Amino acid sequence: VTYQMSPLHTQTLEIISVACLAFYYFEMVILVCADAQHYFLSPSTLFDFAITVVSTIDTVQSYLAPEGTGGSVGIQALRATRVLRLVRIAHRHPGIAVLAQSTIKAFHQSVGCFVLMAQVAVCFALAATQLFAGVREGAIIDPSGGYVNFD
């Protein structure tokens, strides 16, 4: 499904997706080489393995599907399971969850500051536009010449 994106944008996202899959396979190979028995007995690593395999099936199916069909909707719905990795990491490491919550709360508190800074920037832009509107196009402002370039 392209959601009316440009072909370049769609191709870029596909390349990023394949690169992420390659990274997950690289991680999986390293973990299997390090301790194969523990890898296949741990529920969390089996979960990662299942997500990686489902993502691979989805990616291959999207390349093999005719243009515009988008592949199987059921497999694409399983893409959302990738987010569960983040939930698992936050559950395993409570400090990361606290950091994410703090960042979200800080962002909500900072919105007013960002709006104020944007308003100040717009005011300065309007003042500069009014101040330099009379400068002849292409002329250089020379302060030693008494600003004779202004009309």
Span 94-120, pLDDT tens digits: 888 888 889 888 888 888 899 999 999
Greatest mean pLDDT range, 16-30, 41-55, 61-75, 130-144: 16-30
pLDDT at 74: 64
CB 23 within 8 A of CB 44: no
> Model confidence over 37-69: pLDDT tens digits?
888 888 878 888 888 888 888 788 877 876 655
3 state DSSP class of 135: strand
Residue 55: Cβ-neighbour burial (10 angstroms; 0-12, 13-18, 19+): buried
Region of 142 on the Ramachandran plot (φ > 0 left; ψ -120 to 50 alpha; else beta): beta
3 state DSSP class of 64: helix
Greatest mean pLDDT range, 12-21, 59-68, 126-135: 12-21
pLDDT at 58: 79
Residue type at 96 in one-letter notation: I
Q: For residue 150, what are the β-bridge partners?
A: 135
Q: Model's pTM, two decimal places?
A: 0.51
Structure tokens belonging to residue 59: 């990616």
pLDDT at 120: 96
Structure tokens belonging to residue 55: 């993502």
pLDDT at 89: 76
Alpha-carbon dihedral angle through residues 51, 38, 23, 85, given to the nearest 10 degrees: 40
